[in-house]
Structure 1
Amino acid sequence: MKSQITIKKIQDLLLQGLHTTYVDDETSRRIWWASLAVIQENFLSHSAQEGGIWVASPLPALTEKKCLSKMKGWLWSPEGFPYFQMDNAGFLPLDHSRKVKEDSSKFNRNYKVLTLNEKDGFEPFLIILTKNFQCLLTIAGEKNKRNLLMRCDEKSLKTVIELIDAKLNQENFEEALNFRNEIKNLGHLNINDEFEKNFWPNLSSKLANLIPKLSVQSAVKNDDEKHQLTEAKLLQVISHEVRTPLATIRTLISSTLRKYNMDESMRNRLIQIDNECNEQIDRFGLIFNAAELVSNNESLPNQLARINLGEILYKLVPVWSKQLKRRGISLEIDIPKQLPEILSDSEKLELMLRGLIDRNTRGLREGSSLILELRPAGQKLKLQLKVKKFDIGINQIDNKEISSDIGPVLNWNPQTGSLQLSQIATQKLLASLGGHVTQRRDTGLTVFFPTSDSSDL
């Protein structure tokens, strides 16, 4: 009888012959999340559009929607997924007593969840395979003696693929067939020899940017500016640390909805929690982007492309309507057809638009209406947000609320207890996305986007 293939055995095999410096659990977590960010932002974002596969354990490692939507995956997830312990690098569920009951047909997902055996261990593991990009990433080792392993060479990839196939074959023959078919469909893989050379410098840069930079400063450098840069760096770290557990909570909710029968009221409550987590992930993602701009003290060079702003708004309207309806606010839209395209970054602009809606509806009383208009304005498109107060009946965004900036990125409103982007941060973010914002009491919030025909490509 063949011995059982486990994730732990695969990791131990990869560790053989290595002589390296180990890190503690906390450091390994930061290295892991930074590595995932580097891979998704710098290397996978374009390759994922061609399709591919991923295999992960014990949690889904990929978070970028455009990566997940085009790729198929297999996730080894522990039993007792709703229960967490923080001992083993912060990734690990505690209760492994109940058998996972698969019912994937009820859910629109591109990955299959399998039961993670206790012998597999609980250190994070990920392998990504696309036509032009391949990478294996894992944290291995004992408690407080962790090591990040990254492999992208043909020999290591081939060995791990064969071991994963053998593990699937032992546990779920049907999924083993599916896995082999997906590997076959990828055809010949183009191994990128330059990836390893670029990965480690990018990872070093990402980790360095997670903490305030320490350097000898010129005596004439403005102390306020130094303080603002330090605050922005700290906000980046905080935003990252907040989004990570929220994303984990969403994964746990998805797993709970999938695995357990429950009454409709309980299901709706979990879905409501999921929605709230998603909104906060978006908010802190926006804060992270704003802090990144401020810490670099200039607009980052986004790669702008032609996009249809009207289509993006129509896609977001159902999300906004549900979000505002929960607070008793209605949404009115006025978007004509056949509008010219603009130059922007569709994903970051979508996140920014979500933030604008959130920023300009917090504190509104129940019964108010948000009016969203998109109009041509010469060689620009004018996006306008106005609020119709149910007790006043005039179209305006009321800026009389008592609020104050608490740094270069955030604004604090003591009346509502809400944190939101400062006006300066909002203007910088929109400028990096090709837009220009104005805000007056008589016209509400207005954002101008130059059309692609009038912009330099």
Structure 2
Amino acid sequence: MKSQITIKKIQDLLIKGLQTVYVNDDTSRRMWWASLEVIQKDFLSKNYKQGGIWVASPLPAFNDKKFLNQLHGWLWSPEGFPYFQNENAGFLPVNNTDKIKKDFELVSNYKVLNLCQEDGYEPFLMIITPNFQCILSIAGEKDKKILLMKCDEESLKLSIELMHAKLNQENYEEGVKFRNAINNLGNLNINNQFEQLFWPILSAKLASIAPNRNIQNSVKNDEKKVQITEAKLLRAISHEVRTPLATIRTLISSTLKKYKMDESMKNRLIQIDNECNEQIDRFGLIFNAAELVSNEVTSLNNLAKINLAEIFKKLSPLWNKQLNRRGISLKIDIPNQLPQILSDSEKLELMLSGLIDKNTRGLKEGSTLILELRPAGQKLKLELKIQKLERNQKEILKKDIGSDIGPVLNWNPQTGSLQLSQNATQKLLASLGGHVTKRRDTGLTVFFPISDSK
């Protein structure tokens, strides 16, 4: 029986015998984004029109639509990233039909396959065109990474054959398409000068990212630019996720009103509608956090007096329904006549739903979520507690074993759970007037400022 071909195995073979300098995770990320910009701007832009193929993991590496539209691709993406699935592409709700067609062609020009744990989660990109070819990847252990760039004939041949074998193992039909696409390119013109040009251009790019006055300022400014770039990309993705889901909800609503159907079919459509609505809210929250990180909004803007207890009463039926589907109970403990707080009502509603989702992920059936509001001096204290139903004891929340991917998201590869990072959660709550603390025994505590009684 043949051994399984994984992306990590391909990376390991390419790095074998390579002598290089190791860098930490943050530096490798900066090098990766700078390398992508150099490759697209200085090399691929001159060679993509003849057609070609690309293979990437765990995200599409291109930021220009013309490359995605012109080149055929294969993307290995984690199951936690469903927004890359092609079936959503035809539901983009825009008025211009030509743009719908163009966007559909953009998304459907690459095949999405499931990334397994054995593949690893380090970025990988292979580009093959008649006159330009390269393999780019980050490899190594935590804070001991290297930027891998290969363009020699031996490495290209090895990677093409292994990718073909991987596709054959996982999806034979796509393996045939991949081999046909490679054959259609004919004899490849290996550009031996590319490597000699790439590294000096990349060095110049990295050197120009930050001012020369101070090394520490250089690093901080560089990291901030990377964060803003990633946040803007995430905002765009969040928008593209929510729009087709909103269209699906509209179609479901229309179908339920227009057609008669049996109860089981009706319940299925309602369940799909509920799931779509939850995902719209989740990505709306991600959009708000990305907007804040990219400095598109100012902290503490548009804060007004609101009644937090009323918000809880308004949203508790929805929270109850969502938690009951997972076998989790909700208990709300709110005394009468609580003071008003200063916050943004619309965004706070989204944030509260996000906190409940984030802090109940992975809970066993039979658990209880307790939401408690209490005055605390000049602040109003919100506590989220988890309680085991059978023993009536507080359950220590499981430590988040996920890892931050960029400035906004935290992703757990074992469960596929995609949530706001702790840092993004704190920043978003701060912009809404809140201050968050997480304690081992009680889960989560948020303090909101009480508005003036005038």
- Give TM-score, length-normalised by structure 1: 0.53
Partner of residue 389, structure 1: 388
- Contact 2:373 2:383 (C-alpha < 8 Å) held by counterparts: yes
Corresponding residue SS for 1:453: coil
Q: How does 1:224-263 map to 2 (within 5 A)?
A: 224-263=223-262
Note if contact 2:300-2:430 (Cα within 8 Å) is conserved in structure 1: no
The residue number in structure 2 matching 1:218 is 211
Q: In the alignment, is the contact (CA less than 8 A) between 2:386 and 2:442 conserved in 1?
A: no
TM superposition shift of 1:295: 1.3
**CA gap 1:90/1:314 in 2 versus in 1, 3 angstroms:** closer
Counterpart CA distance in 2 for 1:423 and 1:142 is: 37
1:143, distance to aligned residue in structure 2 (A): 9.2
Partner-residue secondary structure (3-state), 2:223: helix
* Residue 311 (structure 1) aligns with: 310
Which residue number in structure 1 is paired with residue 71 of structure 2?
Answer: none
Residue in structure 2 matched with residue 293 of structure 1 by the alignment? 292
After TM superposition, give the deviation of residue 443 of structure 1 in Å: 2.4
Q: Does 1:403 align with 2:394?
A: no
Cα offset for 1:302? Answer: 2.1
Give, in angstroms, the shift of residue 448 of structure 1. 0.4
Q: Structure 1: which 5+ residue stretches go unaligned?
A: 1-25, 28-82, 92-122, 125-138, 146-214
Contact 2:291 2:297 in 1 (8 A): no
Partner of 2:30: none
Tell me, yes or no, if the aligned pair for 1:330 and 1:367 is still in contact at 8 Å. yes
Cα distance, 1:448–1:142 mapped onto 2, change above 3 Å: closer
1:142 Cα deviation after fit? 9.9
Q: Distance in 1 between matches of 2:276 and 2:436?
A: 28
What is the CA-CA distance between 1:441 and the residue it aligns to?
0.8
Work out the CA distance in 2 between the residues paired with 1:90 and 1:401. Answer: 34
The verdict on how the C-alpha distance between 1:391 and 1:225 changes in structure 2, with shifts beyond 3 A counting, is: farther
- The equivalences for 1:189-200 within 5 A come to none
1:402 deviation in Å? Answer: 1.9
Q: CA deviation at 1:252?
A: 0.5
The separation in 1 between residues aligned to 2:321 and 2:377, in whole angstroms, is: 33
Residue 141 of structure 1 deviates from its aligned partner by 8.5
Inter-CA distance 449–142: structure 2 relative to 1 (3 Å threshold): closer
Structure 1 position 366, deviation (Å): 0.5
1:299 touches 1:431 (CA, 8 Å); kept in 2? no
1:327 shift after superposition: 0.1
2:280 alignment partner in structure 1: 281
Counterpart of 2:353, as a letter, is R
Distance 1:269 1:257 in 2: 11
AA in 2 matched with 1:276? E
CA contact (8 A) 2:402 2:413 kept: yes
Shift of 1:416: 2.5
Between structures 1 and 2, the one with greater helix share: 2
The alpha-carbon distance between structure 1 residues 140 and 367, as it changes in their structure 2 partners (threshold 3 A), is closer
Aligned residues: 260
Deviations 1:304-342 (A, max 9, x none): 111100000111110000000000000011011111001
The 8 Å contact of residues 402 and 414 in structure 1, kept in 2 or not, is answered as: no
The whole-number CA distance in structure 2 between the counterparts of 1:248 and 1:230 is 28
- The answer to whether the 8 A contact 1:232-1:294 is kept is yes
Residues of 1 paired with 2:338 and 2:443: CA distance?
22
Whether contact under 8 Å (1:375, 1:381) holds in the other structure is yes
Q: How far apart are residue 401 of structure 1 and its match? A: 4.1
**Is the contact between residue 299 and residue 428 of structure 1 (CA under 8 Å) also seen in structure 2?**
no
Following superposition, the deviation at residue 216 of structure 1 comes to 6.6
- State the alpha-carbon separation in 2 of the partners of residues 389 and 369 from structure 1: 6
Give the TM-score, by structure 2 length: 0.53
C-alpha distance in structure 2 between counterparts of 1:414 and 1:371, whole Å: 28
Asked if the contact 2:92–2:100 (Cα under 8 Å) also holds between the matched residues in 1, the reply is: no
CA contact (8 A) 1:236 1:288 kept: yes
Write the letter of the residue equivalent to 1:261: K
> How far 1:404 moved relative to its partner?
1.8
Match of 2:369 in 1: 370
Summarize deviations over 1:216-273 as a string: whole Å, max 9, x none. Answer: 7534532333222221111111101000100000001011101110001111110110
Which amino acid letter does the alignment assign opposite residue 239 of structure 1?
S
Aligned partners of 1:307 and 1:342 also within 8 Å: yes
Q: Residues 165-222 of structure 1, C-alpha deviation per residue, up to 9 Å, x if partnerless?
A: xxxxxxxxxxxxxxxxxxxxxxxxxxxxxxxxxxxxxxxxxxxxxxxxxx97534532
1:317-328 matched pairs, under 5 angstroms: 317-328=316-327
Q: Aligned to 2:452, what secondary structure does the other structure show?
A: helix
Q: State whether residues 410 and 420 of structure 1, in contact with CA within 8 Å, keep that contact through their aligned partners in structure 2.
A: yes
Change (3 A) 1:376 1:248: same
- Structure 1 residue identity aligned to 2:366: G
- Cα distance, 1:389 vs structure 2: 2.3
SS in 1 for 2:301: coil
Percent sequence identity is 72
- 1:450 Cα deviation from its structure 2 partner: 1.0
**Structure 1's 142 and 356: CA in aligned 2 closer, same or farther, altered over 3 A?**
closer
Equivalent residues of 1:246, 1:281 under 8 A apart = yes
Q: Distance in 1 between matches of 2:240 and 2:268?
A: 25
Structure 1 CA distance, aligned partners of 2:309 and 2:320? 16
Q: Which amino acid aligns with 1:218?
A: P
Shift of 1:300: 3.1
Structure 2 CA distance for aligned equivalents of residues 415 and 390 of structure 1: 26
Query: Does 2:429 correspond to 1:439?
Result: no
The structure-2 alpha-carbon separation of the partners of 1:397 and 1:359, relative to structure 1 and needing over 3 Å to count, comes to: farther
The whole-number CA distance in structure 2 between the counterparts of 1:297 and 1:371 is 34
- Give the Cα–Cα distance (whole angstroms) in 1 for the partners of residues 259 and 352 of structure 2: 35
Residue 406 (structure 1) shift: 1.6
**Match in the other structure for 1:177:** none
SS in structure 1 of the partner of residue 288 of structure 2: helix
1:432-457 deviation digits (Å, cap 9, x = unpaired): 11110100111220000110028xx9
Alignment check: 8 A CA contact 2:300 2:432 kept:
no
Q: 1:144 to 1:359 in 2, by over 3 A?
A: closer
For 1:343, what is the secondary structure of its paired residue? strand
| RMSD between aligned residues | 3.0
- Cα shift at 1:391: 5.8
